[in-house]
Amino acid sequence: MQVQSITLHKLQMDLKNPFKTSFGTVQNKEFFILEVKDHEGHIGYGETVAFTTPWYTEETTKTVEHMLIDFLIPLVKENPLHHPEEVHELFSSLRKNNMAKAALEMAIWDLYAKQQEISLREGIGGRKERIDVGISIGMQPTTKQLIERIKMAIKQGFKRVKLKIGPENDLKLLETVREHFPDLPLMADANSAYTLADIDHLKQLDSFNLMMIEQPLAHDDIVDHARLQEQLETPICLDESIHSFKDAKDAISLGSCAIINVKAGRVGGLTEAKKIHDYCLKEGIDLWCGGMLEAGIGRAHNIALASLEGFTLPGDIAGSQHYWDEDIIYPEVTVEDGQIAVPESKGIGYEIYEKILNKYKIASKTFSL
Ligand code: OSB
Ligand code: MG
């Protein structure tokens, strides 16, 4: 599957609303769309998910650009590929930088599916034709606004609601939310806002019947999470702590979590995400697909990934309209009754909307291979 050229389009797009977590606020996204072309004119697309500051993982838009240009594209140039599953192994000679690796690996997966004339879903072995989705609601200026947001999410049919919490806004907030929505499938994401010293405080969260609490402790921890899970009835879901299949295996065997949130960007691509998926399926561990406030290309990849049967819980995959005034793909992603139809056409199953891409593009570079 020889690659002829790789183009990096740098985009700047503003989210409709600021997205606030315990660690900071995202409003302006700066990221790359990757175009990987072969000699027959097939094009595979990828999207980088790092932010401009390293608040979520250590990667940033700039480190991703550096890794792609100085290391990852040259590796693809020097090594002929036969199948996208070889890319993860090829990139393993370079440490970490999973988001940079994932963007290129995922573009190569899309290219492969297009060459084979199959959907990306089929390419990775996904069986679901529709996927259940939930919504992640950032911290709101007032509880009243949060309640309104939740009402809207329920009206739109989302299968579960995820709230962002931290030590300053958890118990009272969850109490109010539960008063309004006693039976809503609800979960909370702390983005590492607590430490093990907060254990008595965290135990109080058990009274809210949450589906899970996501990443309560440090971004790089699995040991303390195991200690916490021992004393917590609410299942713990790990996000930031899981960067690889090995992390997932270790966390499961230590009892650090009962559920995993997989993001292909965080684990270095679709091949590693699928490996985690296969293991969770075998071990009976619940799994769902996380999000990184992606534009259409990243969103399309998440939809294909979530079509694998082991994604047992609704993912953080909203429709394009939820985050963007206009998306860079057509058709845009739409949610109906809390579900997204997985496209059947070739590759990711969405086309690039050139006009919109060009509108938000601030630079492009092409590398011939
Ligand atoms: O922790 O899951 C997270 C967004 C950006 C970075 C990290 C996270 C999130 C979300 C929203 O919760 C996910 C989405 O809807 O794309
Ligand atoms: Mg999270």
CATH number for the domain spanning 64: value is 3.30.390.10
150 lies in some domain: yes
The pLDDT value recorded for residue 200 is: 97
Angle at Cα 89 formed by Cα 191 and Cα 307, nearest 5°?
A: 55
Q: Return the ligand number nearest the Cα of 56.
A: 1
Regarding the beta carbon of 290 and ligand 1, being less than 6 Å apart is answered: yes
* Same domain for 181 and 111: no
The finding on whether 318 has its CB within 6 A of some atom of ligand 1 is yes
Residue 164 maps to which CATH number? 3.20.20.120
Q: How many angstroms separate the alpha carbon of residue 358 from the centre of ligand 1?
A: 26
Q: Write down the pLDDT at residue 241.
A: 98
Q: Are residues 302 and 208 in the same domain?
A: yes
Task: Give domain status of residue 169, yes or no.
Answer: yes
Cβ contacts of residue 353 below 8 Å, gap of 6+? Answer: 296, 326, 327, 328, 329, 330
Q: Is residue 347 part of a domain?
A: no
Asked if 164 is an active-site residue, the reply is yes
Total number of domains constituting the chain: 2
Distance in Å, CA 15 to ligand 1 centroid: 13
Token look-up 């002929």 returns: 80
User: Which residues, in sequence order, are CB contacts of 37 under 8 Å at separation 6+?
Assistant: 3, 4, 5, 6, 7, 43, 44, 111
From 37, 159, 164, 346, active-site residue: 164
User: Do 321 and 239 share a structural domain?
Assistant: yes
Same structural domain for residues 55 and 89? yes
Q: Same domain, yes or no, for 170 and 249? A: yes
In a domain, 197, yes or no: yes
Task: Verify whether ligand 1 is closer than 6 Å to residue 291 (CB atom).
Answer: yes
Gap from CA of 20 to ligand 2 centroid (Å): 12
Buried b (16+ CB within 10 A) or exposed e, 1-38: bebeebbbbbbebebeeebbbbbeebeebbbbbbbbbb
Full residue range of the structural domain in which residue 240 is found: 123-341
**For ligand 1, is residue 56 a contact (CB within 6 Å)?**
yes
Q: What is the pLDDT of residue 1?
A: 84
Residue 346 belongs to a domain: no
Report CA(295)–ligand 1 centroid distance (Å). Answer: 13
Q: Based on the fold, state whether residues 140 and 191 are members of the same structural domain.
A: yes
| 239 pocket-lining for ligand 1 (C-beta < 6 Å) | yes
Domain membership flag for residue 269: yes
Q: Are 300 and 329 in contact (CB under 8 A)?
A: yes
Instruction: Kindly state whether residues 286 and 332 are assigned to the same domain.
Output: yes
Task: Per-residue pLDDT tens, the chain, 369 aa: give them.
Answer: 889 999 999 999 999 999 999 888 999 999 999 999 999 999 999 999 999 999 999 999 999 999 999 999 999 999 999 999 999 999 999 999 999 999 999 999 999 999 999 999 999 999 999 999 999 999 999 999 999 999 999 999 999 999 999 999 899 999 999 999 999 999 999 999 999 999 999 999 999 999 999 999 999 999 999 999 999 999 999 999 999 999 999 999 999 999 999 999 999 999 999 999 999 999 999 999 999 999 999 999 999 999 999 999 999 999 999 999 999 999 999 999 999 999 999 999 999 999 999 999 999 999 999
Q: Are residues 161 and 86 in the same domain?
A: no
Q: At residue 137, what are phi and psi to the nearest 5 degrees? A: -105, 120
Ligand 1 centroid, distance to 19 Cα (angstroms) = 9
Query: For ligand 1, is residue 136 a contact (CB within 6 Å)?
Result: yes
Provide the pLDDT for residue 24: 85
State residue 22's pLDDT score.
86
Instruction: Tell me if residue 263 is catalytic.
Output: yes
Q: Which candidate in 29, 114, 263, 275 is catalytic?
A: 263
Same domain membership, residue 282 and residue 152? yes
User: How many angstroms is it from 40 CA to the middle of ligand 1?
Assistant: 37
Query: How big is the CA angle at 80 (ends 79 and 81), to the nearest 5 degrees?
Result: 110
Kindly give the number of the ligand 1 atom that is closest to the alpha carbon of 162: 12
Within the chain, how many helices (H) and strands (E) appear?
15, 15
pLDDT of res. 16: 95
Pair 357, 325 in one domain: no
Do residues 189 and 301 both lie within one domain?
Answer: yes
Say yes or no: 161 and 250 in one domain. yes
Our mutation pick for probing the ligand 1 site, out of 136, 187, 236, 320, counting the most ligand atoms within 8 A of Cβ, is 136
**C-beta 319 within 6 A of ligand 1:** no
Ligand 1, atom 13, residue with closest C-alpha: 291
